[in-house]
Amino acid sequence: MPDNAVSGTSHTLRSHGATLARTHMHDWLILILLGVIEIILNVIEPFHRFVGEGMMTDLKFPLKSNTIPFWAVPIIAILIPLAFFLIFYLFRRDVYDLHHALLGLLFSMLITGVITDSIKDAVGRPRPNFFWRCFPDGKAVFDSITGDVRCNGDRSVIKEGYKSFPSGHTSWSFAGLCFLSWYLAGKIGLFDTRGHVAKLCLVFVPLLVACLVGISRVDDYWHHWTDVFTGALIGSVIASICYLQFFPFPHHKNGWGPHAYFKMLLESRVAPARANTLTDRATDDGNAYV
């Protein structure tokens, strides 16, 4: 990974942070909008899919607590990648890398969240532990005409029971940790043709953690395996798109840095060259009248 000496100067938060923030102000505003949409999607009532008595066989698993609680997901998917971003920033003092890594990560998380929760609300698939959410006393009651459930449990618990597909824990974990895997692959030169297996193992660690988060959702009976698989697919695809929006492919010769960094270097070299060209032309024009 080349040093910042290539550009002749370092680009720190103090020297270039404000300029970058202004340049990408619209991106940060879109992030805020996505955050508002995500909040709304979590507030509205999901579709209550028909659940008949004959369907309860697959929805009668125990109502357990989460192995990985909701508050732990942002730590796993956001703070852990952010820690790596900061480590590389302290090493290289390149605010372009820090800014675009953070921006890409947040876009990955929020776009994944909006897609996941939109599908959750629209599909309304019951969780494997839906029976005990609906009937905490164990006494099932069904409508005599429609045959649909007539729940008597806590309203918020029942509402959450209709949000099985896809898995939010899994999609968020893959959105953050798959992005981190891409980031590490670029920083350590995974595809440098030297064949270092240790680099490959390092890149796979975040993906393994994301997989274990998904497996815990099935083990806790909060999700069907198809929920977890779909969540992993959504998170991985969005993370890949968001990473490649800001960074080259890791196998590229410039795969260690963001597009914006190399664009800035190019512009900083072109500007003096243009100025010199204009000066030379002005001098030539002046000499023509002598």
Confidence band for 121, pLDDT divided at 50, 70 and 90: very high
Residue 158 domain-assigned (yes or no): no
For tokens 């209709």, the residue is 162
> CA dist 217 to 28, 34, 57, 101, 105, Å?
32, 25, 19, 28, 23
Q: State residue 278's pLDDT score.
A: 42
Q: Is the pLDDT of residue 14 over 90?
A: no
pLDDT tens by residue, 93-113: 788 899 999 999 999 999 999
User: Which residues are identified as catalytic?
Assistant: 169, 223
Residue 90 domain-assigned (yes or no): yes
Contact 118, 41 (CB under 8 A): yes
d(CA 59, CA 69): 21
Residue 26 domain-assigned (yes or no): no
Residue 86 domain-assigned (yes or no): yes
Other C-beta atoms lying within 10 Å of the C-beta of residue 247 = 27
d(CA 79, CA 268): 33
DSSP for 206-255, please give it: HHHHHHHHHHHHHHTTSS-HHHHHHHHHHHHHHHHHHHHHHS--TTSTTT
Global pTM reads: 0.86
Token pair listed for 154: 């806590």
Residue 145 domain-assigned (yes or no): no
Average pLDDT of span 38-49: 97
Q: Which one, of 9, 206, 6, 32, lies nearest residue 93 by Cα?
A: 9
Q: State residue 83's pLDDT score.
A: 97
Residue partners of 218: CB distance under 8 A and separation at least 6: 224, 225, 228
d(CA 176, CA 105): 6
Other C-beta atoms lying within 10 Å of the C-beta of residue 9 = 12
Structurally, the chain folds into a number of domains equal to 1
Q: Is the pLDDT of residue 52 over 90?
A: yes
Q: State residue 270's pLDDT score.
A: 58
Please give the DSSP secondary-structure letter assigned to residue 24.
Answer: T
Residue 85 domain-assigned (yes or no): yes
Residue 230 domain-assigned (yes or no): yes
Tell me the average pLDDT of the chain.
Answer: 87
Residue 107 domain-assigned (yes or no): yes
Q: Is the pLDDT of residue 40 over 80?
A: yes
Backbone angles phi, psi at 142, to 5 degrees: -125, 150
Q: Which residue segment(s) compose the domain that 249 sits in?
A: 68-125+164-270
